[in-house]
Amino acid sequence: MKVPFRGFSAILYKEFLVVFRDPLTLFFMFVPPLIQLVAFGYALDTDVKHIATLVFDEDRTRESRELIDQFVNTQTFRVVGEVRSIAELADAIRRGQAYVGLQIPPGFARDLQAGRTARIQVLIDGSNSSIASSSLNTALNVGFRQAMLQLAARTGGRELPVEVRPQILYNPEMRSPNFFVPGVIGLVLQIATMFAAAMSLVRERERGTLEQLMVSPLSRWGLMLGKLTPYLCISMLMAVGLIGIMQWVFNVPIAGDFSALLVATLLYVFALLSLGLLISTRAQNQIQALQMCMIFILPSVFFSGFIFPRETMPWIFYALGAVLPATYYIELQRAIVLRGASLGDFWLNIVVLAGMGLALFSLCALQFKRRIA
Protein backbone atom coordinates (compact mmCIF):
# COMPACT_ATOMS: atom_id res chain seq x y z
CA MET A 1 0.00 0.00 0.00
CA LYS A 2 1.71 3.14 -1.21
CA VAL A 3 0.19 6.52 -0.64
CA PRO A 4 2.18 9.04 -2.69
CA PHE A 5 1.63 12.05 -0.46
CA ARG A 6 1.36 10.28 2.88
CA GLY A 7 1.95 12.63 5.77
CA PHE A 8 1.30 15.74 3.67
CA SER A 9 -1.50 17.11 5.85
CA ALA A 10 0.49 16.54 9.05
CA ILE A 11 3.47 18.45 7.65
CA LEU A 12 1.17 21.18 6.35
CA TYR A 13 -0.43 21.56 9.80
CA LYS A 14 2.96 21.78 11.46
CA GLU A 15 4.56 24.11 8.92
CA PHE A 16 1.76 26.65 9.12
CA LEU A 17 2.03 26.66 12.91
CA VAL A 18 5.81 26.95 12.84
CA VAL A 19 5.86 29.71 10.24
CA PHE A 20 3.39 31.89 12.10
CA ARG A 21 4.96 31.09 15.47
CA ASP A 22 8.34 32.30 14.31
CA PRO A 23 8.06 36.05 13.78
CA LEU A 24 11.69 36.31 12.76
CA THR A 25 11.22 34.10 9.71
CA LEU A 26 8.15 36.07 8.68
CA PHE A 27 9.98 39.32 9.26
CA PHE A 28 12.89 38.20 7.11
CA MET A 29 10.54 37.00 4.41
CA PHE A 30 8.55 40.21 4.21
CA VAL A 31 10.57 43.20 5.27
CA PRO A 32 13.86 42.93 3.34
CA PRO A 33 12.09 42.35 0.00
CA LEU A 34 9.94 45.45 0.55
CA ILE A 35 12.94 47.55 1.46
CA GLN A 36 14.93 46.11 -1.43
CA LEU A 37 12.14 46.86 -3.86
CA VAL A 38 11.87 50.46 -2.79
CA ALA A 39 15.64 50.94 -2.63
CA PHE A 40 16.43 49.25 -5.94
CA GLY A 41 13.45 50.87 -7.57
CA TYR A 42 14.73 54.33 -6.73
CA ALA A 43 18.42 53.62 -7.14
CA LEU A 44 18.35 51.91 -10.51
CA ASP A 45 17.84 54.86 -12.77
CA THR A 46 19.58 54.89 -16.13
CA ASP A 47 17.87 58.08 -17.33
CA VAL A 48 20.98 60.18 -17.85
CA LYS A 49 19.88 63.80 -17.49
CA HIS A 50 21.25 67.07 -16.21
CA ILE A 51 24.90 66.05 -16.47
CA ALA A 52 27.18 68.48 -14.64
CA THR A 53 28.88 70.59 -17.30
CA LEU A 54 31.54 73.30 -17.14
CA VAL A 55 31.73 76.04 -19.74
CA PHE A 56 34.91 77.70 -21.03
CA ASP A 57 33.56 80.43 -23.27
CA GLU A 58 36.45 82.34 -24.88
CA ASP A 59 34.27 83.91 -27.54
CA ARG A 60 31.70 85.65 -25.31
CA THR A 61 29.33 86.61 -28.11
CA ARG A 62 25.57 86.33 -28.61
CA GLU A 63 26.18 83.27 -30.83
CA SER A 64 28.31 81.49 -28.22
CA ARG A 65 25.68 82.10 -25.54
CA GLU A 66 22.99 80.79 -27.88
CA LEU A 67 25.01 77.63 -28.42
CA ILE A 68 25.30 77.09 -24.66
CA ASP A 69 21.54 77.48 -24.39
CA GLN A 70 21.08 74.87 -27.11
CA PHE A 71 23.12 72.45 -25.01
CA VAL A 72 21.16 73.21 -21.86
CA ASN A 73 17.82 72.92 -23.65
CA THR A 74 18.43 69.29 -24.44
CA GLN A 75 18.10 68.69 -20.67
CA THR A 76 21.08 66.40 -20.92
CA PHE A 77 23.48 69.06 -19.70
CA ARG A 78 23.39 71.32 -16.69
CA VAL A 79 25.89 74.15 -16.47
CA VAL A 80 27.52 74.09 -13.05
CA GLY A 81 30.07 76.85 -13.61
CA GLU A 82 32.52 78.64 -15.86
CA VAL A 83 36.28 78.25 -16.03
CA ARG A 84 39.00 80.52 -17.41
CA SER A 85 41.51 78.08 -18.91
CA ILE A 86 41.59 74.70 -20.60
CA ALA A 87 43.87 73.45 -17.81
CA GLU A 88 41.32 74.42 -15.22
CA LEU A 89 38.65 72.61 -17.23
CA ALA A 90 40.65 69.38 -17.45
CA ASP A 91 41.50 69.64 -13.77
CA ALA A 92 37.85 70.04 -12.73
CA ILE A 93 36.85 66.96 -14.73
CA ARG A 94 39.65 64.94 -13.22
CA ARG A 95 38.52 65.94 -9.75
CA GLY A 96 34.98 64.88 -10.54
CA GLN A 97 33.37 68.32 -10.34
CA ALA A 98 31.88 67.91 -13.79
CA TYR A 99 31.56 65.17 -16.39
CA VAL A 100 31.57 67.40 -19.42
CA GLY A 101 33.54 70.47 -20.46
CA LEU A 102 32.39 72.72 -23.28
CA GLN A 103 35.03 74.93 -24.83
CA ILE A 104 34.05 77.64 -27.32
CA PRO A 105 37.23 79.13 -28.81
CA PRO A 106 37.61 82.82 -29.69
CA GLY A 107 36.34 83.63 -33.18
CA PHE A 108 33.42 81.20 -33.01
CA ALA A 109 30.85 83.84 -34.01
CA ARG A 110 33.18 85.36 -36.60
CA ASP A 111 33.79 82.03 -38.34
CA LEU A 112 30.10 81.27 -38.24
CA GLN A 113 29.17 84.54 -39.93
CA ALA A 114 31.98 84.19 -42.49
CA GLY A 115 30.70 80.81 -43.50
CA ARG A 116 33.84 79.03 -42.33
CA THR A 117 33.79 75.91 -40.16
CA ALA A 118 33.25 77.09 -36.59
CA ARG A 119 34.91 74.67 -34.13
CA ILE A 120 33.96 73.89 -30.58
CA GLN A 121 35.50 71.30 -28.26
CA VAL A 122 33.65 69.00 -25.89
CA LEU A 123 35.62 67.15 -23.19
CA ILE A 124 33.83 64.11 -21.84
CA ASP A 125 34.71 62.01 -18.82
CA GLY A 126 34.74 58.46 -20.15
CA SER A 127 34.97 56.76 -16.77
CA ASN A 128 31.20 56.39 -16.61
CA SER A 129 30.21 54.82 -19.89
CA SER A 130 26.51 55.61 -19.86
CA ILE A 131 27.08 59.28 -19.04
CA ALA A 132 29.81 59.49 -21.66
CA SER A 133 27.77 57.94 -24.45
CA SER A 134 24.74 60.03 -23.65
CA SER A 135 26.85 63.24 -23.58
CA LEU A 136 28.58 62.34 -26.81
CA ASN A 137 25.35 61.61 -28.68
CA THR A 138 23.61 64.71 -27.46
CA ALA A 139 26.60 66.97 -28.17
CA LEU A 140 26.96 65.61 -31.71
CA ASN A 141 23.23 66.05 -32.23
CA VAL A 142 23.28 69.68 -31.12
CA GLY A 143 26.23 70.42 -33.41
CA PHE A 144 24.64 68.66 -36.33
CA ARG A 145 21.35 70.42 -35.89
CA GLN A 146 23.08 73.83 -35.68
CA ALA A 147 25.03 73.05 -38.83
CA MET A 148 21.88 72.02 -40.70
CA LEU A 149 20.06 75.17 -39.62
CA GLN A 150 22.98 77.30 -40.83
CA LEU A 151 23.01 75.56 -44.20
CA ALA A 152 19.26 75.88 -44.50
CA ALA A 153 19.44 79.62 -43.68
CA ARG A 154 21.99 80.16 -46.43
CA THR A 155 19.70 78.63 -49.04
CA GLY A 156 16.81 80.69 -47.70
CA GLY A 157 15.03 77.80 -45.99
CA ARG A 158 13.74 78.01 -42.43
CA GLU A 159 12.91 74.35 -41.91
CA LEU A 160 15.09 71.25 -41.83
CA PRO A 161 14.70 69.05 -44.89
CA VAL A 162 14.21 65.86 -42.83
CA GLU A 163 12.78 65.56 -39.41
CA VAL A 164 12.56 62.36 -37.38
CA ARG A 165 9.53 62.11 -35.11
CA PRO A 166 10.07 59.18 -32.79
CA GLN A 167 7.16 57.67 -30.89
CA ILE A 168 8.04 55.60 -27.85
CA LEU A 169 5.53 52.80 -27.29
CA TYR A 170 4.54 51.31 -23.91
CA ASN A 171 6.75 53.51 -21.78
CA PRO A 172 6.44 56.87 -23.52
CA GLU A 173 8.34 58.83 -20.92
CA MET A 174 11.10 56.20 -20.91
CA ARG A 175 10.89 56.05 -17.14
CA SER A 176 13.45 53.77 -15.55
CA PRO A 177 11.10 52.42 -12.87
CA ASN A 178 8.82 50.99 -15.56
CA PHE A 179 11.71 48.96 -16.85
CA PHE A 180 13.41 48.05 -13.60
CA VAL A 181 10.71 47.65 -10.97
CA PRO A 182 9.12 44.54 -12.54
CA GLY A 183 12.58 43.01 -12.72
CA VAL A 184 13.34 43.93 -9.14
CA ILE A 185 10.14 42.19 -8.05
CA GLY A 186 11.39 39.05 -9.77
CA LEU A 187 14.71 39.28 -7.99
CA VAL A 188 13.53 40.04 -4.48
CA LEU A 189 10.92 37.28 -4.74
CA GLN A 190 13.70 34.91 -5.68
CA ILE A 191 15.89 35.88 -2.74
CA ALA A 192 13.14 35.65 -0.13
CA THR A 193 11.52 32.44 -1.33
CA MET A 194 14.66 30.46 -2.01
CA PHE A 195 16.17 31.26 1.35
CA ALA A 196 12.99 30.53 3.25
CA ALA A 197 12.48 27.15 1.59
CA ALA A 198 16.12 26.12 1.88
CA MET A 199 16.33 27.12 5.53
CA SER A 200 13.14 25.41 6.61
CA LEU A 201 14.36 21.92 5.77
CA VAL A 202 17.99 22.47 6.74
CA ARG A 203 16.88 23.73 10.14
CA GLU A 204 15.13 20.42 10.71
CA ARG A 205 18.28 18.60 9.77
CA GLU A 206 20.32 20.69 12.21
CA ARG A 207 17.87 20.25 15.04
CA GLY A 208 17.48 16.54 14.51
CA THR A 209 13.75 16.63 13.85
CA LEU A 210 14.42 15.40 10.33
CA GLU A 211 15.54 12.03 11.74
CA GLN A 212 12.27 11.80 13.54
CA LEU A 213 10.40 12.44 10.29
CA MET A 214 12.47 9.86 8.47
CA VAL A 215 11.59 7.02 10.81
CA SER A 216 7.91 7.79 10.28
CA PRO A 217 5.92 6.51 7.31
CA LEU A 218 5.91 10.03 5.83
CA SER A 219 6.52 9.93 2.07
CA ARG A 220 9.11 12.25 0.61
CA TRP A 221 6.53 13.74 -1.77
CA GLY A 222 4.30 14.45 1.18
CA LEU A 223 7.17 16.05 3.05
CA MET A 224 8.19 18.28 0.15
CA LEU A 225 4.67 19.38 -0.75
CA GLY A 226 3.86 20.01 2.90
CA LYS A 227 6.98 22.14 3.24
CA LEU A 228 6.36 24.03 0.02
CA THR A 229 2.67 24.89 0.33
CA PRO A 230 2.79 27.33 3.28
CA TYR A 231 5.67 29.21 1.69
CA LEU A 232 3.81 29.31 -1.61
CA CYS A 233 0.88 31.03 0.14
CA ILE A 234 3.15 33.51 1.91
CA SER A 235 5.11 34.24 -1.24
CA MET A 236 1.94 34.95 -3.19
CA LEU A 237 0.82 37.40 -0.52
CA MET A 238 4.20 39.02 -0.72
CA ALA A 239 4.04 39.18 -4.51
CA VAL A 240 0.69 40.94 -4.37
CA GLY A 241 2.19 43.43 -1.93
CA LEU A 242 5.18 44.04 -4.19
CA ILE A 243 2.96 44.51 -7.24
CA GLY A 244 0.89 46.96 -5.22
CA ILE A 245 4.01 48.96 -4.40
CA MET A 246 5.00 48.93 -8.05
CA GLN A 247 1.64 50.32 -9.02
CA TRP A 248 1.11 52.92 -6.31
CA VAL A 249 4.59 53.91 -5.16
CA PHE A 250 6.39 53.80 -8.47
CA ASN A 251 3.34 54.61 -10.59
CA VAL A 252 3.99 51.80 -13.00
CA PRO A 253 0.59 51.02 -14.49
CA ILE A 254 -0.24 47.37 -15.18
CA ALA A 255 -1.23 47.31 -18.83
CA GLY A 256 -2.08 43.64 -18.93
CA ASP A 257 -4.30 41.26 -17.01
CA PHE A 258 -3.69 41.10 -13.24
CA SER A 259 -4.69 37.45 -13.09
CA ALA A 260 -2.17 36.62 -15.83
CA LEU A 261 0.45 38.27 -13.68
CA LEU A 262 -0.60 36.12 -10.71
CA VAL A 263 -0.45 32.91 -12.74
CA ALA A 264 3.05 33.79 -13.92
CA THR A 265 4.10 34.65 -10.36
CA LEU A 266 2.66 31.42 -8.96
CA LEU A 267 4.63 29.30 -11.43
CA TYR A 268 7.77 31.30 -10.80
CA VAL A 269 7.52 31.05 -7.02
CA PHE A 270 6.79 27.33 -7.22
CA ALA A 271 9.96 26.83 -9.25
CA LEU A 272 12.02 28.92 -6.80
CA LEU A 273 10.68 27.15 -3.72
CA SER A 274 11.46 23.82 -5.33
CA LEU A 275 14.96 25.04 -6.05
CA GLY A 276 15.30 26.12 -2.42
CA LEU A 277 14.15 22.70 -1.22
CA LEU A 278 16.50 21.02 -3.66
CA ILE A 279 19.35 22.97 -2.11
CA SER A 280 18.24 21.92 1.34
CA THR A 281 18.34 18.23 0.41
CA ARG A 282 22.06 18.70 -0.23
CA ALA A 283 23.13 21.25 2.38
CA GLN A 284 24.18 19.95 5.78
CA ASN A 285 23.70 23.24 7.63
CA GLN A 286 22.30 26.72 7.21
CA ILE A 287 25.62 28.26 6.15
CA GLN A 288 25.98 25.80 3.31
CA ALA A 289 22.39 26.42 2.26
CA LEU A 290 23.04 30.13 2.26
CA GLN A 291 26.12 29.78 0.08
CA MET A 292 24.34 27.50 -2.34
CA CYS A 293 21.48 29.99 -2.67
CA MET A 294 23.99 32.72 -3.46
CA ILE A 295 25.26 30.67 -6.40
CA PHE A 296 21.89 31.18 -8.06
CA ILE A 297 21.19 34.71 -6.97
CA LEU A 298 24.15 36.55 -8.49
CA PRO A 299 23.74 35.11 -11.99
CA SER A 300 20.06 36.02 -11.77
CA VAL A 301 21.06 39.64 -11.31
CA PHE A 302 23.44 39.74 -14.25
CA PHE A 303 22.33 37.13 -16.78
CA SER A 304 18.55 37.21 -16.53
CA GLY A 305 18.20 40.34 -18.64
CA PHE A 306 17.25 42.24 -15.50
CA ILE A 307 19.73 45.06 -16.17
CA PHE A 308 21.59 44.18 -19.35
CA PRO A 309 19.87 42.84 -22.45
CA ARG A 310 20.73 39.17 -22.88
CA GLU A 311 21.00 39.40 -26.67
CA THR A 312 24.31 41.24 -26.50
CA MET A 313 25.93 38.78 -24.11
CA PRO A 314 28.56 36.23 -25.15
CA TRP A 315 26.83 32.90 -25.87
CA ILE A 316 27.97 31.29 -22.65
CA PHE A 317 26.23 33.88 -20.50
CA TYR A 318 23.23 33.84 -22.80
CA ALA A 319 23.01 30.11 -22.22
CA LEU A 320 23.46 30.60 -18.49
CA GLY A 321 20.53 32.99 -18.47
CA ALA A 322 18.41 30.40 -20.27
CA VAL A 323 18.48 28.03 -17.28
CA LEU A 324 17.41 30.64 -14.72
CA PRO A 325 13.72 30.87 -13.82
CA ALA A 326 14.21 34.61 -13.27
CA THR A 327 14.98 35.12 -16.98
CA TYR A 328 11.59 33.80 -18.06
CA TYR A 329 9.67 35.46 -15.29
CA ILE A 330 11.17 38.92 -15.75
CA GLU A 331 10.55 38.76 -19.49
CA LEU A 332 6.99 37.62 -18.93
CA GLN A 333 6.33 40.20 -16.29
CA ARG A 334 7.61 43.11 -18.37
CA ALA A 335 5.49 41.94 -21.25
CA ILE A 336 2.35 41.77 -19.10
CA VAL A 337 2.93 44.91 -17.04
CA LEU A 338 4.29 47.22 -19.74
CA ARG A 339 3.01 45.91 -23.04
CA GLY A 340 -0.25 44.39 -21.89
CA ALA A 341 0.67 41.00 -23.35
CA SER A 342 -1.51 37.99 -22.63
CA LEU A 343 -0.28 34.61 -21.39
CA GLY A 344 -0.99 33.23 -24.86
CA ASP A 345 1.56 35.60 -26.40
CA PHE A 346 4.21 34.22 -24.09
CA TRP A 347 3.03 30.63 -23.76
CA LEU A 348 6.60 29.40 -24.14
CA ASN A 349 7.70 31.22 -20.99
CA ILE A 350 4.74 29.76 -19.10
CA VAL A 351 5.57 26.25 -20.30
CA VAL A 352 9.24 26.68 -19.40
CA LEU A 353 8.47 28.03 -15.91
CA ALA A 354 5.93 25.28 -15.22
CA GLY A 355 8.34 22.67 -16.56
CA MET A 356 11.19 23.98 -14.41
CA GLY A 357 8.96 23.95 -11.34
CA LEU A 358 7.75 20.40 -11.85
CA ALA A 359 11.21 19.13 -12.74
CA LEU A 360 12.84 20.78 -9.72
CA PHE A 361 10.10 19.60 -7.39
CA SER A 362 10.33 16.02 -8.65
CA LEU A 363 14.09 16.17 -8.43
CA CYS A 364 14.09 17.32 -4.83
CA ALA A 365 11.65 14.60 -3.79
CA LEU A 366 13.70 11.96 -5.61
CA GLN A 367 16.99 13.40 -4.35
CA PHE A 368 15.89 13.42 -0.78
CA LYS A 369 17.54 10.58 0.99
CA ARG A 370 15.50 8.73 3.53
CA ARG A 371 18.71 7.57 5.06
CA ILE A 372 21.28 9.87 6.54
CA ALA A 373 24.18 8.14 4.81
Partner 1 sequence: MIECEGLTKRFGHFTAVDHVSFKVAKGSIFGFLGPNGSGKSTVIRLLCGLLEPSDGQARIAGLEVARELEQIKGLIGYMSQKFSLYDELTAHENLSFYGRLYGLRGAALKQRYDQLVALTHIEPYLERRAGLLSGGWRQRLAMACSLMHHPTVLFLDEPTAGIDPVARRELWDLLFEFSSAGMTLFVTTHYMDEAERCSHVGYIHTSKLVVCGEPDELKQLPLVNPNDSRRIDVTCDHVTVGLQALRRLPGVRAATVFGQSMHLLVDKALAEEVIRAELAKAGIPRADVRPMAASLEDVFVALTAGRNGGAK
Cα 43 from chain centroid? 11
State yes or no: residue 285 binds partner 1 (CB under 8 A). Answer: no
Minimum CB–partner distance for residue 38 and partner 1 (Å): 30
- Amino acid code (one letter) for 269: V
State yes or no: residue 284 binds partner 1 (CB under 8 A). Answer: no
User: In whole angstroms, what is the distance from residue 220 CA to residue 365 CA?
Assistant: 6
**CB distance 98 to 92 below 8 Å:** yes
User: In whole angstroms, what is the distance from residue 140 CA to residue 14 CA?
Assistant: 66
Which stretches of 285-324 are DSSP H helices? 286-303, 315-322
Minimum CB–partner distance for residue 320 and partner 1 (Å): 35
**CB distance 356 to 350 below 8 Å:** no
Closer residue to partner 1, CB minimum distance, 22 or 47 = 22
Closer residue to partner 1, CB minimum distance, 14 or 175 = 14
**CB distance 220 to 277 below 8 Å:** no
Closer residue to partner 1, CB minimum distance, 219 or 300 = 219
User: In whole angstroms, what is the distance from residue 319 CA to residue 316 CA?
Assistant: 5
Binding mask 21-50 for partner 1 (x = CB under 8 A): xx----------------------------
State yes or no: residue 175 binds partner 1 (CB under 8 A). Answer: no
The strand pairing partners of 100, in sequence order, are 53, 124
Q: Count the neighbouring beta carbons within 10 Å of the beta carbon of residue 24.
A: 7
State yes or no: residue 14 binds partner 1 (CB under 8 A). Answer: yes
Closer residue to partner 1, CB minimum distance, 60 or 369 = 369
Closer residue to partner 1, CB minimum distance, 7 or 33 = 7
State yes or no: residue 11 binds partner 1 (CB under 8 A). Answer: yes
Note every long-range contact of 348-352, with CB atoms under 8 Å and residues 24 or more positions apart, other chains counting: 349/264, 350/263, 350/264, 350/267, 352/328
Task: Find the part of the chain contacting partner 1 (CB under 8 A) among 10-18, 76-84, 278-286, 304-312.
Answer: 10-18
Among 5, 18, 107, 308, binds partner 1 (CB under 8 A): 18
Binding mask 177-216 for partner 1 (x = CB under 8 A): ------------------------------xxx-xxxxxx
**CB distance 194 to 275 below 8 Å:** yes
**CB distance 265 to 236 below 8 Å:** yes
Scan residues 313-372 and list those touching partner 1 (CB under 8 A). Answer: 370-372
Closer residue to partner 1, CB minimum distance, 10 or 350 = 10
Cα 30 from chain centroid? 19
State yes or no: residue 13 binds partner 1 (CB under 8 A). Answer: yes
Closer residue to partner 1, CB minimum distance, 206 or 345 = 206
* Binding stretches for partner 1 (CB under 8 A): 2, 6-7, 9-11, 13-14, 17-18, 21-22, 207-209, 211-218, 370-373
